[in-house]
Amino acid sequence: MEHLWPSASATVYSIRENSREFKLVSTRQRNYQVFWMEFLVILDLPQGQCPGTIVPLASQEPQCTGTVKTPEVKSRADALDWVKRHPQGSKITAHCDPQSDHMAFGDESIFNIYPWNNITFTTAILIVAALLIKAGRRQSALPQYPQGVPTVKEE
């Protein structure tokens, strides 16, 4: 089943920086901060097609608005990089989820969207596990007694 979010051109109206403490279940590891940006955008859509809220912002006429939230990252500098790529007043493409009010940036590099550290770590674990399973199977395929089965001599 293909998932297709409609896209719309939009203008960045305002930007807000957010952070929260990420609490780990383990008591041995320290909690850490995660950072993300929220962009309030004005969508270039008629009121009847607006997936967000309709409010008067930049003009007297009510406008279609929505919030684009960036992925959470551990580095504040990484979160602020989104602002450098999408400054206030810039034109963007926003993808809107028709099932919810979630919006995402269009035309963004996959390197900025996906958690590559987690993907790389998981891939490394899977490769090590596959090698261990293969080594275990090879070990069990070897004969138990390389000189043959020992025989018991009767006296």
> pLDDT digit string (tens) for 137-148?
776 655 665 666
In what order do the strands lie in the sheet containing 91-96? 53-55, 63-69, 32-43, 7-22, 91-96, 103-105
* Judgement on whether residues 95 and 73 belong to the same structural domain of the protein: yes
* Judgement on whether residues 49 and 122 belong to the same structural domain of the protein: no
Indicate whether 88 belongs to any domain.
yes
What is the value of pTM for the model shown?
Answer: 0.67
- 101: tokens are 């009010």
Q: How far apart are CA 149 and CA 113, in angstroms?
A: 60
* Judgement on whether residues 78 and 132 belong to the same structural domain of the protein: no
- Domain hosting 82: range is 7-108
Indicate whether 153 belongs to any domain.
no
Indicate whether 70 belongs to any domain.
yes
* Judgement on whether residues 99 and 131 belong to the same structural domain of the protein: no
Indicate whether 124 belongs to any domain.
yes
pLDDT tens figures, 102-147 = 888 887 777 667 667 778 889 999 999 998 888 877 766 556 656 6
Q: Which residue is listed with tokens 């979010």?
A: 5
Quote the number of domains for the chain. Answer: 2
- 128: tokens are 């090590």
* Judgement on whether residues 80 and 133 belong to the same structural domain of the protein: no
